[in-house]
Each structure stands twice: as C-alpha cells, then as structure tokens.
Structure 1
Amino acid sequence: MSEALQRLFNLRREELLPVSLAMAFFFCVLTALMVLRPAREALGMQGGIDAVRWLFIGTALITLLVNPLFGLLVSRLRRLTFITLTYLFFIVSLLLFHAILRLSPQVIGITTGQVFYVWFSVFNLFTTMVFWALMADRFSLEQSKRFFGLIAVGGTCGAIFGPWLATRLAEPLGTAQLLLVSCGFLLLALAAAWGIARLQPERPPGQPPTAEPERIGGSAWEGLRALLSSRYLLGIASYVVILAIMATFIYFTRLQMVAAQGEELDLRTALFARIDLITQLTTLVLQILVAGHLMKRLGVHITLALLPLTAALGFIGLALAGSLAALIVFEACFRAVQRALMRPARETLFTVVSREDKYKAKAFIDTFIYRAGDVVGAQTEGLLGRLGMGLAAVASVAVPLALVWAALGLWLGRAQQRQADTPTFTPEPGGTRHDLPS
C-alpha cells in the first residue's frame, strides 16, 4: 500500500489481508441479516404495536434459554468449531423456514410472522456477537483502536447491499428464495472466519504465536458468574442496557410514525427499507472518514460518550419537532454514531479480558442483557404512551438517562486503559480470567 493509504486507514502492510478478511466476514453477516430485516419488521407489526412489545419479552426469554447451550458449546469445543456450529444452526433454521414457505405457504399468518420475528432477533444478536468475539480474540487493544472502525465498514456495506439485493431478487425469485440467499452469505462468512483464524493467530503480549487450545473449558454458566464478579463487566452490561433502552425508544417511535402512514404491508416495508438505507449511508461516511482516527486520537472513553450525547440532543429535537422527517434525521445520526463509532469502541472493551469472558460473558451481555434492556425500554415507552404524555414524556426520561450513560462511557474507557496497563496477571494461552483491580 502507498504511505497515503496506510495513513488514511491506519493499517500496516502485514495487517491488510486479515483486516480485509474481517471486513468480508462482517459484510457477509450483515448482508445475510439485512436481506431479511425489512420483512421481519413488517411481519412483526401485523399483530399491532402492542404485540411487538410482547415479542420483545419472548425474545429475551429465548436468549436466556439459549445462553447456557451456547456456553456449553464454548466450554466443550474448540473456538472455530463452536463458531461453525452456531452459524450452521442458523443456516439450518433458514432452510426450515424456506421449506415452510415453499411447501405450506397457507400457514403463514400473524403467529408465524411473530415466530419469525423472535427467531430473527435471536439470529441477529448471536451472529454479530460471535463475529465481534472473534475480532476481540484475534486483534490486540492497540489494533482494535486503529481498525475496528474500518472493519465495521464491511458490515455497513453489507447492510446497504442486503436491502438492495432483496429489492432486486424478491420479485423475480420470490420471498422464500431470499432465505437461501441469506444461507449462502452465512456460508461465505464461515469461510472468512476460518481464513482469519489462519492469518491472525491469537498471540499473548510479547510471546510468539501459539497453537490454538482444544477448548476454553469452564461451565456453561461461567459467563453469568464472571459478570456478577467483575465491576468492569458489570459496567459494560449497564452501558448495553441503557443503549438498548434508548434504541427501543427510537424503535417504537418509528413504528408508531410509520403505522400512521398507512396499513398496507408493502408501504410499511418500503418505508422501513428507506429509513435503513439513509441510516447505512450516513454510517458509511462516518466510518470511512473518521472512525479509526477518532478512537485513536480522542480515546475510547470520549468515543463511548458520543452516542449518549447524540441521544440527548436527538430526543430534545424530536420532542420539539415531532415529525417523521425529524425522526429519520435523528435515527440516521443515532445509528450512524452507534455503528461507526460506539460499536467498534465498545468491542475494544473486550480485548483486555480473558478468552473465556470474550465468548461467555460477552455472549450473555450481547444477547440476554441487551434484550432485557429492550424489554425495559418497550414497557417504559408503552406506559408513557398509555398515560398520553407523548414524545415530551419520552424525552424527559431519555435525556437524564443519556447523561448517566455518557458518564458510564467515560468510566469504562478509563477502566479499560487501567485494565490494559496493570492487569492482575497475564493470562495464559488457555484463557484465565483477570478482572479490573478493585
């Protein structure tokens, strides 16, 4: 690469291939998800917005049940084996949904749509969680600050390409065939994961590459125990809960405003797709131009505080304007900062914990804890709506919460640096836990 490109993308020559593979991995994962997402939103709304709030509870319960099963896989199998099995499980699930759509289309209704909504929500969380866990496992803290933002560009390109591909293929091939397209991209994602494992072996600081251990070990519930015993992991979990609450406030506001535009399924799907497209394009611009440099120059703590400040300003503006256009601008800004800046910064927090925590505690935080925040946000927003207090009431809750969220982000960034500078002890290649000193 030329010197100018190295400066622009914060990459060294030997990092080009593994980072490119990581981008391709995330591109395939997000394409597989976004091919199906607009249909998920429209199907979920068939039973009404109040029904969606109950679907959030159902999703949280399913993720709670799945977590010990995932923890068992992590304990008993090699890393690439349980990563492969996770993706294969969702591929088989897609094939089953495809068979139902092709062989018994008459059974598709409100209940089936709700089942797909819950399944897709679990699918979304686990596929992205496994991706970022592998990234935190394979790249160092210093590397994560430089190019996790660039890796996220691959996901954003997939999030743009997925809806576009769906619009091009849905009519000539039919909706059922989109599930097969999603399966194909998940298989490509798996191939990229294996390539990254070969090119970027896990290297303890100051040591040569080591052979990958057979398995991580521990119990299926180790992630929950680790979370309860570590202030650092509890801080990450609290940050994720507030993130989920804020995102849920925005989500239900969007559902209500889109519902007010009409009841036609195709109209709603088109509106959701248009909002997604605007959001992804805004995200892509931020990722390419500023993400990698911002985290390195301002630090993780400032980067983590940017999304809470965006949320506070956005809810104030939304309460004052109260229009769909204002919501689209706010959501585009919120999602762009979340995906381009906050998400890569949040994932760097896991680079300073043990391998076991990267997969088990992270899985519990990114799935059940996140969905628990969804439930709290959905029920709070519903209560405010039933009281007839509107957007002003949502803003009155969201803005103070955003300030707490910002303070937590600042603390986490500084705690991460202390964790990196003065770990209790250096983990052995097998992955022994180390926590932030009390």
Structure 2
Amino acid sequence: MGSPLQHLFNVRREEIWPVLLAASFFFCVLTALMVLRPARESLGMQGGIEAVRWLFIGTALITLSLNPLFGLLVSRLRRMQFISVTYLFFVCSLLTFYLIMLLSPQVIGVVTGQIFYVWFSVFNLFATMLFWALMADRFSLDQGKRFFGLIAVGGTCGAIFGPWLASMLASPLGTPALLLIASGFLLLALAAAWGISRIQPEQSAATVTATVAADERIGGSAWEGFNAVFRSSYLLGITGYVLILAVMATFIYFTKLQMVADQNAGLDSRTTLFAQIDLITQIATLVMQVVVAGHLMKRVGVPVTLALLPLTALLGFVGLALVGSLAALIVFEASFRGVQRAIMRPARETLFTVVRREDKYKAKAFIDTFIYRGGDVAGAQVEGLLGRLGMGLAAVASVAVPLALVWAVLALWLGRTQRRIAAQTRADSIGNEEAGHIRTL
C-alpha cells in the first residue's frame, strides 16, 4: 500500500493494472448501453404502458431461448472466444439497426421500436453478465471484496458519460450515429477484456475453484447452467435473491413510467425526462462508490452489504406510499439504483467467486438473464393487476414491504453460506497440498 490512492481504494501495487483495465472494460460497456437507453424507453412507450408489460414477456422468452445457445458457446469455445463471439454479435446487430435507420427510415414505427426495446433489454443483460462473469473468474473472493466496488465506478462513469455523449451528438450527427458510437465502445470493451485475460493476476491455490485450466474449453452440456441451479441450494439462493431484485426494480420502473405518462409530455420531452432521471441516479451511484468503494464489504461483510438494498427498498416503498409524487419517486429510484449498483452489485458478484468456472458462466448466465427477466415479468404483471384494481401505490407497498423482509433474510443467508464455502475450499486446498507433500516425501 505505497501511495495514499492505493490505501484509499484498498488496491495493492500489483493489482493496479488489472483493476484499471477492468474499470475501463465496464466504462465502455455502460457507455455503449447508456448512449442508447433513453431512446429505448421512449420508443417502448409509443405503444402504451400495457404494451411494455408484454414486451417484458417477449424479452423473457427470447432470453430463455438464447441461454442454451450461449451455453453451447461456453461448452465448445475457450473463454475469450465465446466472450468475443457474444460481443461481436451485438456489434453486428447494432450495425444492422444502423443500416435500417439510415436506408429505410420510413419503417421506423411502433413495431420497430418494440423490436429495438426487446433487443436492447437482451443486450443489456448479456453484456453486463459477461463482464461480471469474467471478473468473478479472474479475481478471488478477497480481491472482489476489496475492489469490485471500485471497478463498478468505471461502469458508473460510463453510465454518466453515455447520456451526456448522446445529448451532445444526437442533434448534429443524428440518432443512427449513436448506434455506431455504441458499437465502437463495445469493441473497446472487448479489447479491455482481452487485456485482462493476458495479465492474469496471481491467485492463491485456496481461491482457485475451477477444475480446468484458464485456456481450456469448459465443456459440459448447453443446459448445464439450468441444471446446476436446481442442484445447488447456494445457486438457488442466488436465484431467489435476483428474482426478488427484479420484481422490486420492476415495481419502481412501472411506477416511474406511469408518473411520466401522467405528465402528458411528447416523445422528446419524455426522452429528456428519462435522461434527467438517469443522470440523477448515476450521480448518486458515483457518490456512494467513491465514498465506500473497496471498504464497506471488508468492514461489515458480504451478508450485511447484500441486505442494505432490501432495507432501502422497504423504506422507499413506505415513503412512496405516503408521499406519492414524482419527486419522491426520483429520490427513491436514485437511492435504490445507487445502493444497487454501488454496494449490492459488487457484493452479489463476489458470490460467484466461490463456485466452479462452469457455473460462473453457465449458471450465472441463466440467473442474470432469464431469471432476472422472469422477475421483470412477474413484477410487471403484479403491478399491472394492482393498477387495474385501482389500488394505487399503497397496494404496491403492501406487496413490496413483506417481500423486502424475505429478501433481507435471504441476503444474510447467502453471505454466510459464501463464507462457509470459501472456508471449506481453503481447507480442502490445504489438505490437498499436504497430501501431495507427503506423497513427494
């Protein structure tokens, strides 16, 4: 810990370059996503809020259909090969949308906007899932506790830079140009991913849980991720945690859509309002990350860190039910998203540092894509049912508050189970080393 910056961010000298590359990787991914997100929201709302609920179902079904294909790539290709194929697929998709918008602008309408909405939702999940899967694969549990929060700062900076870049370039260059910009940042993200794989930071034998060498194919079946989740109580617990997270986030999302729709604003005004809400959220996230990055998980542990978001949701829904204004919703969403991205997300990703390499990609892909989108669908339908019954925000809070309590209990259990698995892994590693030493003698 030579310099004050190293001490502040809890990073050792030999870890600086891997962390910088990882933060750059996440910066590029989030910039690519956030350049396009405000347009996604506005295009999706062209068919009305009820149409968005159906788009959630379509997204979940497409995500489920893509999981075995992704599992097949993981089984047949080396790690960086299937990561490259996935990112290049999204680059090619963006270029296809660009050509359509450039050569046939007359086809852009409600249906085309809905197709883009679904595509973006799938792109968003797979792009971020792959980033965090590589992080869980490259860094140990101790490293994850110390600087996953710091790495997430890179993503937050990208999430702030993306909307700003879109606002600066959309008018002079045109909306189609934003797709080219997003493609460029995805290619830069892929270059950073290759850089991380080449650096290969040192890990002790106790922290390496993979059964294959880093440059070998993982193997297994395309559906192994699905099967692994239901064979492991630990992975099933992560599934439950992510499912409740998605339901809560969807409650907030549709409440926001409804409040924005009540403003009776046009397409451009809605896009501007969504961008402003995103900007407030990202600034809140950045402040939290700068203050707590690299220290909170080490000081209070993963269980408490995971439980902070359920507590935020509980208090936020109670406050929203009492106040019920757009301003209160913006404060709640900024707090929720800030805690989610700055505190909870890095802690949740450390949960995967103690599982097999196959599970880090296949099971994680199933959980972070289909299960998350399944939670979206459940949350959208429950919120829609409460809305049709005319029960309002108080009814949403009456569902969200007890769910948040269950979520908090699950968070504590996951953190403690992770600690037990890590201790068992270290004990097994020490035992294997001692046995090997005895055989050598």
Q: The TM-score by the shorter chain falls in which range?
A: over 0.9
Corresponding position of 2:145: 145
Do residues 301 (structure 1) and 303 (structure 2) align? yes
Deviates more, 1:284-293 or 1:380-389: 284-293
Mark the runs of 5 or more structure 1 residues left unpaired by the alignment: 428-438
Residue 271 of structure 1 corresponds to 273
**Separation in structure 2 between the aligned mates of residue 50 and residue 171 of structure 1, nearest angstrom:** 30
1:314 aligned partner: 316
1:421 alignment partner, one of 411, 420, 423: 423
1:63 counterpart letter in structure 2: T
Does the 8 Å CA contact 2:206/2:429 hold for their aligned counterparts? no
Report the AA paired with residue 329 of structure 1.
Answer: V
- Alignment match of 2:288 (pick from 273, 286, 289): 286
Could you list the per-position Cα deviations for residues 97-142 of structure 1 after superposition, in whole angstroms to 9, with x for gaps in the alignment?
0000000000000000000000000000000000000000000000
Structure 2 counterpart of 1:42: 42
Secondary structure, counterpart of 2:218 in structure 1: coil
Residue 214 of structure 1 and its aligned partner are, at CA, apart by 2.4
Aligned partners of 2:18 and 2:201 also within 8 Å: no
Which residue is equivalent to 1:258?
A: 260
State the shift of 1:39 in Å. 0.1
Q: Is 1:227 aligned to residue 193 of structure 2? A: no
Show the 5 A alignment for 1:329-340: 329-340=331-342
Residues 9, 293 of structure 2: 8 Å contact kept: no
SS in 2 for 1:36: helix
Measured against aligned partners, the alpha-carbon deviations of 1:165-194 in whole angstroms (never above 9, x if no partner) come to 000000000000000000000000000000
Structure 1 distance, partners of 2:405, 2:177, is: 45
Residue identity over aligned pairs, in percent, reads: 77
Residue 205 of structure 1: CA displacement?
A: 1.6
- Partner of 2:60 in structure 1? 60
Q: Is residue 30 of structure 2 the alignment partner of residue 19 of structure 1? A: no
Q: Could you tell me how far apart the structure 2 residues matched to 1:425 and 1:380 are?
A: 45
How much does 1:207 deviate?
9.2
Q: Does structure 2 retain, via aligned residues, the 8 Å contact 1:80–1:194?
A: yes
Equivalence map 1:37-436=2 (5 Å): 37-200=37-200, 203=203, 205=205, 212-423=214-425
Residues 138 and 202 in structure 1, CA contact (< 8 A), matched pair in contact too: no
Q: Output the CA distance in 2 between the equivalents of 1:111 and 1:105.
A: 13
| CA deviation vs aligned residue, 1:358-382 (integer Å, no higher than 9, x gap) | 0000000000000000000000000
**Conserved 8 A contact 1:202-1:212:** no
* 1:6 Cα offset (Å): 1.6
Cα distance change of structure 1 residues 206 and 369 upon mapping to structure 2, 3 Å threshold: closer
The AA in structure 2 aligned to 1:112 is T
- Alignment of 1:8 onto 2:36: no
The Cα shift of 1:291 comes to 3.1
- Tell me the distance in 2 between the aligned counterparts of 1:288 and 1:191: 26
**Contact kept? 1:295, 1:345, Cα under 8 Å:** yes
CA distance in 2, matches of 1:226, 1:205: 24
Give 1:434's aligned residue: none
One-letter amino acid of the structure 1 residue matched with residue 235 of structure 2: L
Q: 1:203: how far off?
A: 4.4
- The structure-2 alpha-carbon separation of the partners of 1:425 and 1:112, relative to structure 1 and needing over 3 Å to count, comes to farther
The 1:104–1:234 alpha-carbon spacing in structure 2 relative to 1, beyond 3 Å, is same
The structure-2 alpha-carbon separation of the partners of 1:316 and 1:207, relative to structure 1 and needing over 3 Å to count, comes to: closer
Q: Say whether the 8 Å CA contact 1:381–1:394 is kept in structure 2.
A: yes
CA change 1:231–1:375 in 2 (3 A) is same
Q: State the SS of the aligned residue for 2:293.
A: helix
Question: Given residue 81 of structure 2, which amino acid in structure 1 is its aligned partner?
Answer: T
Q: Aligned partners of 1:12, 1:399: CA distance in 2, in Å? A: 41
* SS class of match (1:310): helix
Question: Structure 1 residue 425: deviation in Å?
Answer: 5.3
Check conservation: 2:140, 2:207, Cα contact below 8 A: no
Whether the aligned pair in 1 keeps the contact of 2:15 and 2:201 (CA below 8 Å) is no
Amino acid at match of 2:348: R
How many Å separate the matches in 2 of 1:234 and 1:49?
A: 32
Residue 211 of structure 1, CA deviation: 5.7
CA RMSD of aligned residues (A): 1.6
Could you give the per-residue CA deviations for residues 41-61 of structure 1, whole angstroms, max 9, x where no partner exists? 000000000000000000000
Q: Which consecutive aligned stretches of 4+ in structure 1 deviate over 4 angstroms post-superposition?
A: 201-204, 206-211, 424-427
* Structure 1 letter corresponding to 2:302: V
Question: What is the count of residue pairs matched by the alignment?
Answer: 427
Cα deviations across residues 320-358 of structure 1 (Å, max 9, x unaligned)?
000000000000000000000000000000000000000
1:81 aligned partner, one-letter code? Q
CA distance in 2, matches of 1:120, 1:43: 11
Q: Which amino acid aligns with 1:371?
A: R
